[in-house]
A and B are shown apart, each in its own frame.
Chain A
Amino acid sequence: MLIFILKRFGSGLVLIFIVTAMTFFLTHAASVPVAINLAGPNATAEQIATINAQLGLDRPIMEQYTSWMSGVFQGEFGRSYFSSEPVGEAMASRLPATLSVVVLAMLITLVVSVILGVLAASRRGFVDRIIQAISTISYVFPAIILGIVMVFIFAINLQWFPAVGYTPFSESPSEWLSSIILPATVLSVGGIASLSSQIRGSMIDELGKDYIRTLRSRGVSERSILLRHALRNASGPAFTTFSLLFISLFGAALFVEKIFALPGYGSYGYAATIQGDLPVMLGLTLFSVILVVVVNLTVDLVSGWLNPKARVS
C-alpha cells in the first residue's frame, strides 16, 4: 500500500510539472498584452516598457518559467499582475468562499440523492418515474437560470437571503450559512441528477441479489435491508461519482460565484484568464492538479476500504 501511495505521489508530481508548464507556455503563445492592458489606451510606449520591466515580462520565456518554478519550491507563487496581491495569500483568502459553497453543495447533493435514489429503487412504479423525471429535469435545467429564479424568489421577493456577497464563518456563522445556501443549492442541482441516478441503479442491482432475499426471509426489516445492507453495498460506485463531483464542482462554481458575486476561486480564475494574469493562472492550475491527485488517491483508498476486492496489491 505504501508503494502504491508513493507511486501515485510521484506521478502526481510529474502531472503538476507537465500541466503547469503547458499552462505557462500556452498562455505565452496566446500572448495577451498584459502591460498594454494595464497601461490603458492613453499610455506611452515608455510606460508600457516600464510595466513590462516591472513585471519581468521582458525576460526570456524559459527564465520566467524557471523563476516561477523555483519560487514554488520556496513557497512563493508570485504576485498577481493586476491586483499586486501575492498569489498564495490571494488563494488562501478566496478558498473559504468556494470551499464553503462546494462542501455545502456536496452535502445537499448527498442527502437529496440518497433519499431520491433509495426511494426510487425501493418503491419503483409511479414514485420511481416521478423521481426520475425530477432527476432528468434537474440535469437539463440550466443551473444559471435556476440561480436567477432563486435569487428573484428568495433574495429579492422574500428577502430571506442576501442576493450577493459572502460572510466569513468567523465573522458570523449564521450570516455565513445565509450567504452560501442559495449558491450551494444552485450548485448541487446537476450533481443530484447524476448521483441519484447512480444510487438508484446500484440499489436496484443490489435489491435483486440473493442475499437480500435471504435477509427478507429471515424477517429483517425492510428499512434495515435498504439502509444497512443494500445501500452500503451500493455505495462503492456512488462514492466514486460523489468524489469526482467534488472536483467538478470547483469548476462549476465559476458561474455561481458570478451570479452571487462571491470572492471565490471561480471568479478569481475567470478574471485572471481573461486578463492574462499568469501568476494567478499558474497558482490555480497548481491547486487544481493537487486537488485532482489527492481526490483520486482518496477515492482509490476509500474504495479499497469499502470493497476489499478492489484493493490494489
Chain B
Amino acid sequence: MHQRNALRLAAAAVAASLALAACSSDSGTSENGATGDPAAPTKQELNLSVQAPTADLSVGNFTGGDTTIYLGVYDRLVTQGLAGELIPSIAESWEMSDDGLTLTFYIRQGQAFTNDEPLDAAAVAASLEASRVGPGSAGQLATIESVETPDETTVVLNLSRPDAALIYQLAGTPGVISAPSLLGTDEAKLNPVGSGPYVLSAEGTTVGATYELIRNEDHWNADAYAFPTVNVAVIEDPTAQQNAMKTGQLDFMTLQSPDLVSQFPESDFTTGEGNPQALGGLFLTDREGSVVPALADVRVRQAINLAIDRQTIAEKLVPGVGSATAQIANPVGEAYDPALDEVYAYDLEAARTLMDEAGYGDGFSVTMPSTVLSQTFDTTIAQQLSDIGITVEYESVPFQDLYAKLYEGTYGMFWFYNGYSGSDAKDVAQVLSGSFNPQATTTPELEELLATANAAPLDEHGEWFGAVNEYFVDEAWFAPVNASTGIWVSSNEVAYTPPVVADGSLLAWQPAS
C-alpha cells in the first residue's frame, strides 16, 4: 500500500533518489550567521527543493508528491528514525495486545497544536477518523475497525485482523494528526495546522513554487531540529537543481548519475550514496495467466528469473546506484536474505529446461509497456528474454497513462520501480496491492504466511516477513533486478545522514560541525 507518489517513483526510476534538493527563496546565498553563542549552530537556514510538493496538505488527502512539507508540519503518534526504527512522538509509548487486535497509544501530556488547540486523545481520534475515510489514507488504515479514547491520554485502535504494517502506516502520511478545527476544511489543503517540528509560513510560501517552514519551538523534540528555517523550493528540472546547487542556492540534492559527482568538487561539496530507495525489476503480475497464459506456470516465471543477468544490468546499465537483487525485501531490512539472491543466478540452460518442461520450449510473445521508468532497460531485457524464446514487444506508454493501464491489468508483466517503504511489513503490503497485484492474486500458502507474519510480535517481523519474501522468490512472483540507491550531494555547510525511509524526516540534515 502506499507511497503513491508518481513523481517520486519516476525520480526513483531515473535516479532512485529522494528527489530532494535545495534552493533558497532569497538571493541564493545561505545565511551563515554568527549568533554570538559559539555552541549555537552557525547555519540558520536549510535550503531544500522538491520536484513536486504534496498535492493536498490536509489530513486524509495525501495523494502524492514529496512529503518534506507534509511531514514537517504534522506530527504522528509514532515516527521512524533515520535508521528506520520506531520512535515515540505524540505518543510516548504504545502496546499491542497478544492477539494482535488492539493497539494502544499513550499520549505525551502537555502538547498543543501550533494554533494552541490542545493535543489530546480526542484530537488524535478525530484525525484518525478523517484518515480512515480520506482517499489518500483509507486503504492503508483499512484494518482499523474503531478508535476509542478511554481517557484524555489514551487512544485505542481496535483492528479487524492483525496488521503488522499498521504502525508503520501510522508513522507515515496516513497517521498525520491535525488540529481538529482544520479537519475537512479547504483551508487545511493549503495552510495545514499540526504539531510537527515546523510550521508552514503563509507569508513565505507561494503554493507550488516556494515553501517556508519555521521551527515550532513548542514541539516536544524541537532541539533536535537544528535549522530555525527550512526553505523548500519546487524545482522540477534536474539540471536547474544542479545549477542551483552549484551557485549555493541549494544545500542538498540527489544526482541522477554518479557521473555527475565530478561536477561537485570536494572543496565545496560532500557526496555519498544513500540507502536503497527503490526496487527495480519485472513485476510478473499475471500469475493467473489471463493476459499471458504462460505466466500462470511457475516454471516460466522461474525461467524468466534465471534468464535475466542481474549483475550485468546493475554494473553496466545503472552503475554506482545500487546492487543486483532477486528479492523484493529491502537490503537494509530484516526480511532480506542474501542467500535468496543466489537462487536465480544467471543460467540460460536451466531457464531453457524449465521453459521446455512447462511446454513453452518454442517460447511465446509478450507485450510490455515502455515508459520513462523502463527505457534504460527495455532493450537489454528484451534481448535477455529472447535467449529463452520470449519475444517482447514494447508499447510506448506516456507515464500519465501508465497507472490506469496497470490497474486494468493490460500487461501481464512490466518493468517498474517501487519505492522501499522502510518497513518489511509495508514493503510486502505494497507489492500485493493496487497495480502490483491487479487481479488480487493470492494462494492459501501465502495467506497463511501473511496471517502468521501479521500476528507476530514486532521483534519477530523480520523472521516472518522473511518467510513471505522467500515465498515470493520460490514462486517467482516477481523478477527483481536492482535495489536502487541515490547518489546525493550536499554543501559542506550541512551534514546529511541518509535515512532508511525514503520520505525521511528533516532530522537527516544538521549543520556541519
Contact = CB atoms under 8 A, between A and B. Distances in A.
A164 B133 CA distance: 40
B259 interface: no
B63 A36 contact: no
Q: Which 10 A-B pairs have the closest CB atoms?
A: A40-B4, A263-B209, A163-B243, A33-B404, A84-B189, A50-B135, A42-B434, A38-B63, A162-B28, A261-B235
Interface string A158-173: 0100111111000010
Interface residues of A, number: 52
B436 A165 contact: no
Contacts, number: 176
A268 B208 contact: yes
Contact of A261 (B133, B240, B404, B430): B240
A261 B234 CA distance: 8
B237 A51 contact: no
6 contacts: A33-B400, A40-B434, A85-B208, A155-B247, A175-B27, A178-B27
Nearest to B58: A84
Given A258-B236, A275-B400, A167 B4 contact: no
A46 interface: yes
Contacts of B134: 50
B24 interface: yes
A47 B139 contact: yes
A156 interface: yes
B403 A41 contact: yes
Given A84-B56, A163-B249, A268-B208, A42 B433 contact: yes
A276 to B, nearest CB: 7
A39 interface: yes
B436 A40 contact: no
B472 to A, nearest CB: 16
Contacts of B189: 84-85
B138 interface: yes
A77 interface: no
A93 B28 contact: no
B139 A41 contact: no
B505 interface: no
Nearest to B243: A163
A263 B234 contact: yes
Nearest to A178: B27
A94 B206 CA distance: 9
Contacts of B186: 79, 84
Contacts of B364: none
A41 B406 contact: yes
A81 to B, nearest CB: 8
A258 B55 contact: no
A93 B4 contact: no
B237 A259 contact: yes
Contact of B206 (A37, A50, A93, A275): A93
Contacts of A259: 237, 239-240
A83 B247 CA distance: 29
A83 B208 contact: yes
Interface in B396-422: 400-401, 403-404, 406-407, 416, 418
A57 interface: no
B246 interface: yes
A100 interface: no
| Main secondary structure on B side of the interface with A | loop
Given A41-B434, A44-B138, 7 more contacts: A41-B6, A42-B139, A47-B135, A83-B208, A165-B210, A175-B27, A261-B236
A82 to B, nearest CB: 5
Interface in B1-39: 1-6, 9, 23-28
Interface in A141-164: 148, 151, 155-156, 159, 162-164
B64 interface: yes
A43, A51, A156: which has the most chain B beta carbons within 10 Å? A43
A44 B434 CA distance: 6
A58 B310 CA distance: 44
B55 A82 contact: yes
A164 B23 contact: yes
B244 A163 contact: yes
Interface in B52-100: 53, 55-58, 61, 63-64
B435 interface: yes
A15 interface: no
Contacts of B406: 41
B207 interface: yes
Nearest to B405: A33
Contacts of B407: 36, 45, 48
Contacts of A82: 55
Contacts of A32: 400-401
B190 interface: yes
Contact of B240 (A44, A83, A260, A271): A260
Given A42-B1, A42-B430, A175-B27, A36 B403 contact: yes
B190 A276 contact: no
Given A41-B435, A84-B189, A164 B401 contact: no
Given A51-B135, A90-B208, A178-B27, A261 B436 contact: no
A62 B139 CA distance: 31
Interface string B374-387: 00000000000000
A110 to B, nearest CB: 28
A268 B209 CA distance: 10
Interface in B230-256: 233-237, 239-241, 243-244, 246-247, 249
Nearest to B237: A258
A37 B236 CA distance: 18
Contacts of B24: 165
Nearest to A51: B135
A261 B434 CA distance: 34
Contacts of A6: none
A54 interface: yes
B249 A164 contact: yes
Contacts of A276: 400
A207 B53 CA distance: 58
A93 B430 CA distance: 38
B4 to A, nearest CB: 2
Interface in A254-300: 258-261, 263, 267-268, 271, 274-276
Contact of B23 (A33, A44, A261, A271): A261
B2, B138, B240: which has the most chain A beta carbons within 10 Å? B240
A163 B246 contact: yes
A24 B225 CA distance: 46
Nearest to B246: A156
